[in-house]
Structure 1
Amino acid sequence: MFLGTHHPRLDDKGRLTLPAKYRDALAGGLMVTKGQDHCLYVFPRAEFEQMARKVAEAPFTNEAVRAYQRYLFSGTDEQRPDGQGRVLIAPELRRYAGLTKECVVIGAINRLEIWDAQAWQRYMDEHEQRYAETREEVFPGLF
């Protein structure tokens, strides 16, 4: 399970050092893809393959399904962390997420998300109140 917030830097070659606590879970390979809200999703390879099978089962005769499949799979890059836990973030993915040197990596249960640090702060500022307001609506009686 991926949890927490980390603040790695993107180096001049476009590499990002993954948090050490996640490296074992990602050692077998990982998939970096465009996420929603202009962040990047990082899935362990096995998790991505499981998700890909479900996406592939959707009827490709549906225009929305084809568009989703094209967008998801064309924007995915397979990586294997190097000995220092770094992965290369492809230029297209860096542009999509607006990544600069300062990044934020958050755990999101089954995936990591990579955000530009300023974009993450804006997102948190915009959504903090909504988080507080919708907790009971989304999970009635849980808290």
Structure 2
Amino acid sequence: MADNGFLGTYTPRMDDKGRITLPAKYRDDFAGGVMLTKGQDRCLYVFTPEGFGTFAHSAINAEVTDERARGYQRYMLANTDQQHPDGQGRITVPARMRQYAQLDKDVVITGIGLRMEIWDAAEWADYEARQEAAYANPERGTLNPL
């Protein structure tokens, strides 16, 4: 992974077996495995095992006496799948994850720093359109530039 993490937008097609080809630019980063989990906004998160460890650290180590933390921990970890890309750089998106993210043949993979996200192409187009005005005119929009 580059110093800036995962970046860019890619438009592979999902085949009939639910396989998606990861961007060639980042295949070496995923040679050690892929952690695929349900993300917010009905997309899927794609991490390297190390990236997933960083992302999930607080959930994995949450106090078992905290009901909200337990619920988040259970849902996230129960809906995570570890895989190794095949020789062509493809991963298989399990049916339950395809259903959650409403994935069909046309998908978008976006680089979001520590992770990549897999979106249904139409959902991504809608999401991006909603964000564009706020990004282009931050004083009038709702995006927080951190």
Query: If the length of structure 2 is used for normalisation, what is the TM-score?
Result: 0.89
After superposition, the C-alpha distances for 1:95-134 in whole angstroms (9 at most, x for unaligned) are 0000000000000001000000000001011121122344
Amino acid at match of 2:113: I
- 1:95-106 equivalent positions in 2, closer than 5 A: 95-106=99-110
- Counterpart Cα distance in 1 of 2:79 and 2:11: 24
- 1:115-134 equivalent positions in 2, closer than 5 A: 115-134=119-138
Q: CA offset at residue 59 of structure 1?
A: 1.3
2:144 to 118, 138, 141: 138
Aligned residue in 2 for 1:90: 94
Q: CA offset at residue 139 of structure 1?
A: 4.0
Identical aligned residues as a percent: 50
Amino acid at match of 2:129: D
Alpha-carbon spacing, 1:126–1:33, altered in 2? closer, same or farther (3 Å): same
My pick for the range that moved more, 61-70 or 50-59, is 50-59
After superposition, the C-alpha distances for 1:20-63 in whole angstroms (9 at most, x for unaligned) are 00101111001000011000000001111233332222212111
Corresponding residue SS for 2:46: strand
Matched, 1:66 2:70: yes
Amino acid at match of 1:70: R
- 1:1-143 equivalent positions in 2, closer than 5 A: 1-134=5-138, 138-139=144-145
Output the aligned Cα RMSD: 1.7
| Unpaired stretches in structure 2, ≥5 consecutive residues | none
Q: 1 or 2, which has the higher helix percentage?
A: 1
- Counterpart Cα distance in 2 of 1:67 and 1:5: 32
Q: CA offset at residue 138 of structure 1?
A: 3.5
Query: If the length of structure 1 is used for normalisation, what is the TM-score?
Result: 0.91
Alpha-carbon spacing, 1:139–1:101, altered in 2? closer, same or farther (3 Å): closer
- Counterpart Cα distance in 2 of 1:13 and 1:58: 36
| Unpaired stretches in structure 1, ≥5 consecutive residues | none
Corresponding residue SS for 2:47: strand
